[in-house]
Amino acid sequence: MRLNCRIFYFIFTEVKLQLNYFILFLLVVALLPYFVICFYALPFADDFCFGWTASENISFLQKFLNQYLYWNGRYTADALVNLNPLVTEKIINYQLAVFISLAATPVVIYFFIKEVGIAFQCSMVNSQWLMISMLITLVYLNYQPNITEGIYWFIGISNYHLCNLLFLVQITLLLKSFSVEGLSKILLQALSLLLLIVSIGFNEIGAMLIPALYLCLAVVNRQSSMVNRQVLVVFTLVAFFASGFVFFSPGNFVRTQEFENRYDLLHSLLYSLAQTARFIAEWILNVPFVLLSLLVLANTDKVRSKTTIDYKLLVVAMLFVVFIGSFLPYFATGVLGQHRTINFVFFFFILLWVLVLLSVSEKSLLYKNLERVKNEMVIVGLLLVSILLMAITGNGIKIIADFKQGNFKKYEIAFVEREKEILKNPAEPIKKLSVIPNTFQIVDVREDSTWWVDKCMKKYYFPLP
């Protein structure tokens, strides 16, 4: 009898393990197309502008100051755009930069959620953390409003996506420092503080949200030790100080003069509220999002921390994050633009949404009414359906359609042929690309020498001596 029990236990364990591997395999398959098309990503619009300025025969410091003093206050992004891979004149370097930033995404998320899980005493193993990080990555990639500018555009990466990643690394290091002592604690907090300053310098949205987050943590987190509270206060002060270098830079005042409809408060508030409702509804009402949310609600009991965050505060934070992603562009320029700021806040919306679900389920004991959902086969079924649906909806279906129609290869051929034509006939207007994949929402030329994209391309291909 005991032998039979051991056999059944062994079989159950093996089946469970194989199912985990199968889910991980499906996640890899669903994510693979996003990595493959990195090698079809091609420079456009601002890439050529910054490729031209980065190629100027002046010092790196002068290039940086030209951006910071005369265009914007994004001191970190201003440094990165001057490391533009177009300077090498090799497209593969551009594509490798895109690939590396994408590959870093699930890795950073994995270490972040695992460290948060340790802080909240979550009872999960490494394979489960890996699965969650890949699921978050897939949701993030599949439902971005403009994945081109979010992932496949060097300037977008330099201003937004890397900010997401480095800020998570910064938080991870800070959380890690709270669990160690001595020199390790000092080094982790010093590095975290440095990354805090770097993270704030990517864009205005981060420069507002990151200090706001630390202020909330410093005020709300009363249960932490005196030493940890002092650390949070220091980080808060540094965050606000660093954000001042973004918002009050000379370049920001120069750049805003380009937009006639700036600083319209009523227009900005109304449109930002509408966009907040629009994007949140689009995200939370799609089927995979609902199914994955159900899994989070049902497994809340795996979070064993005694410190719970009030879901009302989390809901306010979540709404504020999405609102700011719309409000600042509207207020500064009068338009929302290409949704690159929504890409940016969507990353944090996903993480905050998970915390909201956990808090709601814990507060109302909802997880006790979802015992059936915690069944192993039900969990596997919900994960399978969610992954398969994400593969054939959102940005996933666009990639499939473009591969089916051969658009990526046609796009690459059209780009190379146009480049040859530009170099062969420098006096002629630059022609529009004949094929652009549905996945890539690029800003192309207008065959008009006065249009800024056309001018930047001319300056990049034919720089003045």
Say if CB 396 and CB 407 are below 8 A apart. Answer: no
Query: pLDDT digits over 308-342, tens only?
Result: 678 888 999 999 999 999 999 999 888 887 789 99
- Output the average pLDDT for the chain: 89
CA distances from 129 to 108, 213, 290, 351, 379 (A): 12, 25, 20, 14, 15
Q: Is the pLDDT of residue 465 over 70?
A: no
Examine residue 252 and state whether it is found in any structural domain, yes or no: yes
Decide if 451 is inside a domain: no
Residue 12 has pLDDT above 60, yes or no: no
CA angle 278, 293, 319 (to 5 degrees): 35
d(C-alpha 218, C-alpha 174), whole Å: 14
Cβ pair 206, 200 in contact under 8 A: yes
Query: Would you say residue 345 lies in a domain?
Result: yes
> Which pLDDT belongs to residue 307?
52
Q: Which residues contact 432 (CB under 8 A, 6 or more apart)?
A: 444, 445, 446, 447
340 lies in a domain?
Answer: yes
Nearest Cα residue to 97 out of 31, 163, 43: 43
Share of the chain above pLDDT 70, in %: 93
Q: How many CA atoms lie less than 13 Å away from 286 in the CB half-sphere?
A: 19
The answer to whether position 208 is within a domain reads yes
For the chain, what is the domain count? 1
pLDDT at residue 306 tops 60: no
Share of the chain above pLDDT 90, in %: 69
Q: How many CA atoms lie within 13 A of 7 on its CB side?
A: 4
Quick check: is 312 in a domain? yes
**Residue 21 banded pLDDT, cuts 50, 70, 90:** confident
Query: Looking at 6-20, 86-100, 233-247, 429-443, which range is the least confident one?
Result: 6-20
Structural domain range at position 118: 32-300+307-405
Domain assignment of residue 274, yes or no:
yes
What is the distance between the alpha carbons of residues 367 and 363, in angstroms, rounded to a whole number?
10
Burial per residue of 30-44, b for 16 or more beta-carbon CB atoms within 10 angstroms, e otherwise: bbebbeebbebbbbb
Count of all residues that appear for the chain in the document: 465
What residues have CB less than 8 Å from 69, skipping those under 6 apart?
249, 250, 251, 254
Residue 304 is predicted with a pLDDT of 60
Helix (H, G, I), strand (E, B) or coil at 347: helix
Q: What is the pLDDT of residues 163-190, one digit of tens each?
A: 999 999 999 999 999 888 889 999 999 9
Residue 3 lies in a domain: no
